[in-house]
Amino acid sequence: MTTLNRLFSQRTLVFYILAITSAISLLVWMTACQSKAEGEPVSGDDPVAVQMAPVSRVTDSQPIWVSGVISGKEEAKLSFKTGGIIRDIPVSEGQTVKKGQLLATLDLTEIGALAVQADEMVQKAERDLQRAEKLYRDSVITREQIENARTGYTVAQKNRDIAGFNREYSEIRAPFSGKVLVKLMAKGELAGPGAPVLILSSSDAGNWILKTGITDQDWVRISVGLKAQVIPDATKDTLQARVTSVSDGVSPVSGLISAELTLDQPKSKLASGLFASAKILTGTSSFLAVPIEALVEGNQNDAFVYTVSDGKAVRIPVQVAYLAGNQAVIRKGLEGVSEVVTRGSAFLTGGIPVQVNN
């Protein structure tokens, strides 16, 4: 009985081994057949089986979405030309002011004294010049001495002009009508030369703008005059606007190109510094498009597609504008190409033989 059981077990083991071997062989054969059907070359001499799809032309009005900050069209940080103690700031934050209105003044004790000193120096230099001219006519002094006296008089006059200019700009007046956004200093503080004291922003209707940045890909699609819709994060209102300025240089800080959108007399309440998004309507344009599966080796907006010429694969670099559903809209690279490889493109290299199975 033991011998029969042992014999039965050996036959069963052999049967299982043969069955497993047959299954593995069948699986390898099926994988090889499937690989060849899907485009993987079985040998170096066999062409890769591929499928192709036509390059289509689409008409689209893809908008440009941006975000930025709302502010007055004119916005200035106002400061004194010279330093000194602030005597008065007769305005408050949020106050509306008129062009030319007095906004802040310095204590003129020191600046006034310098102006008087400069005026006295002019009078002294004038007297010195008159005496020098009389002595020169009497041949008492040399020509060099009379020229030095004249130079001293001229320098004294220029110093008086400087003192007068500094005294004039020891007060701040509104350069345009608008609203005081921020008071950075208060009465009695020491203001340095050029240190901001007030921030003034224009607030007239039609003077609100959205400052934003656009990518270089969107820069080629945008132009002054395009309509836009601005949506402030605070109000969620849709405000009509238009593109009024587009820079021709890239910011070294952000890597974006600056642009401005002017709002068309918004009725809703706005404030400088509000964040907002905007949709710029670029109009209808015609583009070439391919199925997304035709793209290989994508890197941001750069990718490759394959086409077939004389039975061989041709590798073509393209620039992708954007994706729309299952289509990739191509900005550049497909000129003169009517079909691209879709299925099997991942197994291709430039110049490899291919067999089109559509």
C-beta separation of 351 from 313 below 8 A: yes
SS3 label, residue 31: helix
Query: Residue 6 has which token pair?
Result: 């042992």
**What is the DSSP secondary-structure string of 88-144?**
E----TT-EE-TT-EEEEE--HHHHHHHHHHHHHHHHHHHHHHHHHHHHHTT-S-HH
125 pLDDT above the threshold of 50: yes
Domain 48-60+285-356: assigned CATH number: 2.40.420.20
Topology (CATH) of 109-169? Helix Hairpins (1.10.287)
Q: Which CATH fold topology does 65-74+203-280 show?
A: Elongation Factor Tu (Ef-tu); domain 3 (2.40.30)
% of the chain surpassing 90 pLDDT? 39
Closest CA to 328 of 342, 315, 314: 342
Q: What is the pLDDT of residues 262-314, one digit of tens each?
A: 998 766 778 788 899 999 988 777 788 999 999 988 787 889 999 998 888 89
Q: Tell me the pLDDT tens digit for each residue of 90-122.
A: 999 988 899 999 999 999 888 889 999 999 999
pTM: 0.51
3-state secondary structure of 181: strand
The contacts of residue 189 (CB under 8 Å, 6+ apart) are: 85, 86
Q: What confidence score (pLDDT) does residue 246 get?
A: 92
Q: Is 24 left (phi over 0), alpha (psi -120 to 50) or beta?
A: alpha
3-state helix, strand, coil in the chain (%, to 5): 30, 40, 35
The overall average pLDDT reported for the chain is 82
What pLDDT, on a 0 to 100 scale, did the predictor assign at position 204?
61
Q: Which of 37-41, 114-118, 152-156 has the lowest mean pLDDT?
A: 37-41
Range in 23-32, 54-63, 286-295 the model is least confident about? 23-32
β-bridge pairing 48-50 and 354-356: parallel
- In the numeric block, the tokens 């689409």 are attached to 58
Structure confidence at residue 203 (pLDDT): 61
Domain spans, the chain: 48-60+285-356, 65-74+203-280, 109-169
pLDDT of 275 reads 93
Question: In the structure, what pLDDT confidence band is assigned to residue 34 with cuts at 50, 70 and 90?
Answer: very low
Give yes or no for residue 27 having a pLDDT over 50: no
